[in-house]
Amino acid sequence: MTPEQLSAYLLTIVNDLIASKNGEGVTASLDDVALDRPRNRDHGDWASNVAMKFAKRLGVNPRDFATEIADALRQVEGVSDVDVAGPGFINIRLDAAAAGQIVKQIVEQGEAYGHNSALDGLRINMEFVSANPTGPLHLGHTRWAALGDSIARMLRASGADVTAEYYINDAGAQMDKFGNSVLAAAKGEPTPEGGYPGEYIAELARKVLVEKPDILDLPADEALAEVRERAYQLQIGEIKQSLENFRVHFDVWFSERTLHEVDPALGMSPIAASVDRLRAQGHVYDADDAVWVRTTDFTDDKDRVITRGNGIYTYFAADAAYYLSKQDRGFTEKIYLLGADHHGYVNRLKAIAGAAGEDPEVNIKVMIGQLVSLNGAKLSKRAGNIIELDDLLDWLGADALRYWLARYPADSPLSLDGEKLRSRSNDNPVFYVQYAHARTSAVARNAAAAGVDTSAFNPELLTHDTENELLGALLNYPRVVAHAAETREPHRIARYLEDLAGHYHRWYDACRVTPLGDEPVTPVHQTRLWLNNAVGVVIRNGLDLLGVEAPERM
């Protein structure tokens, strides 16, 4: 019996009792009968405080109401015992057969186990990383790369339609500085003042010259434009490859330049059209030889200039046009994952949502990630003053880096120890979890060699204390996924997997899947193989949500 099935039974019982007490206008929902895992498993498999939620509204004693609910629950097939504790807590214990049924369900569902419908109907655009295409990705980009991709995976597993998007800042002064830096390197000249230093600039220059050997023979303006474009394409290609190596995939690479280019359908650029659209909403005004958006109507600390007196659009204008693009593409929620130095953008982006006619508390979510540091990491030889993502992957591997970045809340500063990430011991959580998966694979291989198969499944045989703990953890996985998706917190998945791995290792030490010596293969061995395989499925599924591989051998 799954928690969802038990909640459904409980909901029916509670609403029937409410009706019997003439609870006019009172109705319980599934949220009201949500089940919790008791901290002390001696209290049962599941607990509910639903009696205390409704007793006052019904004018009854909560403990008496809980007793009535418990009496009805005892009649439900698969429930072995129910008791009432304290002022009205209901503790529920399932019989072994009912609890064990989840094992077969997990194995049969495979990759689909844990998927849920908590976020069905949501169309979400999630923009993250979005580093300037003027240099390689570095340590500062890793946190949102790992967390953003994991959040997208969790949202999809919970029913949301998610587009992962990278906003390419390929317009503006920084691109001119970038182009001038590569051009100077191609000419063998020093880096221009305010330009980009580093060996990677020289590498880009060499590649540009290989692609177009006569590029320096062009007139100065043409040479700069050509070098800038070719170097930009090379650099963005490198960024894409680095992210793929980090197992981070983007569905859309959105170019800022498209906001400044004339759209034939509009007869103007999207950035110009955005000013007209916000004006039509009644939030744009002219003052001091500039065009303003009245963002203070939406909790911003000051109104924002969208067009300067000389007709130049501000960065705020690009932000507004980009938001409107997402609105036009039909996204009901826009998630922005920003770095620690972007707190000032929160109210600004919410104000754009409000000025665009949407609800800033519903249609947009801005998440701020704190800084990450890594002891033992070396500065890039190519860039000189940064720690490149590619170097981190060569040193630590994607699994360790992604897992450790995922296991902490994004809003807390994070300092990692590189050698601990590399260690192959139980003190390293990613090793601990991956080793549990590898052990499930080894157990399955050994079982096959010993003639243990899955032709028999008798869940009532799973009665050992460690099996009860393991079954409870497996039952809880879909709820953990749904909650992690709703809160946008991948660390909940990581901590769950560590807990599950602990339960599995203890079970492995206490219960045998293969018979000893000449002992015959019995249904208990076969049923335990089902349980072993179910654990493997859940660890594999959970690691996949974090973008981490599940090895079969270690």
Confirm if 515 and 450 have CB atoms less than 8 A apart: yes
CATH code of the domain in which 26 resides: 3.30.1360.70
Confirm if 301 and 347 have CB atoms less than 8 A apart: yes
- Residue ending a domain, choose from 368, 400, 435: 368
Distances (CA, A) of 545 to 72, 113, 156, 236, 441: 39, 12, 10, 26, 20
Strand partners for 334? 125, 364
- pTM over 0.85, yes/no: yes
Distance CA 140, CA 389 (A): 9
- Residue ending a domain, choose from 245, 274, 301: 245
% of the chain beyond a pLDDT of 90: 80
Check whether residue 476 and residue 504 sit in a common domain.
yes
Check whether residue 135 and residue 282 sit in a common domain.
yes
Which of helix, strand or coil describes residue 368? strand
Check whether residue 356 and residue 472 sit in a common domain.
no
Check whether residue 439 and residue 490 sit in a common domain.
yes
Contacts of 210 by beta carbon, 8 Å cutoff, 6+ apart: none
Residue 551 domain-assigned (yes or no): no
Alpha carbons within 13 A on the beta-carbon side of 214? 3
Distance CA 132, CA 231 (A): 13
Check whether residue 436 and residue 512 sit in a common domain.
yes
Query: How much is the CA Rg of the chain, to the nearest whole Å?
Result: 29
pLDDT at 517: 87
pLDDT at 43 over 80: no
Which domain, by its residues, includes 254?
123-166+250-368
* Average pLDDT, integer, range 254-263: 95
Task: Output DSSP code: residue 215.
Answer: G
Check whether residue 31 and residue 141 sit in a common domain.
no
Residue 224 domain-assigned (yes or no): yes
For the chain, what is the domain count?
4
* Average pLDDT, integer, range 436-444: 98
pLDDT at 41 over 70: no
Task: Output DSSP code: residue 262.
Answer: P
- Residue ending a domain, choose from 211, 245, 279: 245
Distances (CA, A) of 209 to 174, 215, 229, 461: 22, 7, 13, 71
Confirm if 273 and 321 have CB atoms less than 8 A apart: yes
Distance CA 144, CA 149 (A): 8
Look up residue 255 and give its amino acid. Answer: S
Q: How confident is the model at residue 37 (pLDDT cuts 50, 70, 90)?
A: confident
Confirm if 434 and 498 have CB atoms less than 8 A apart: no
pLDDT at 191 over 90: yes
Q: Return the ∠ at Cα 105 (arms to 101 and 110), rounded to 5°.
A: 150
Dihedrals phi, psi of 359, to nearest 5 degrees? -90, 115
Whose structure tokens read 């394409």?
233
pLDDT at 545 over 90: yes
Check whether residue 448 and residue 519 sit in a common domain.
yes
Residue 387 domain-assigned (yes or no): no
Buried b / exposed e over 443-471, threshold 16 CB at 10 Å, is bbeebeebebeeebbebebbeeebbbbbb
Dihedrals phi, psi of 531, to nearest 5 degrees? -65, -45
Distance CA 276, CA 76 (A): 63
Q: Which of 27-31, 190-194, 429-433, 458-462 has the largest mean confidence?
A: 429-433
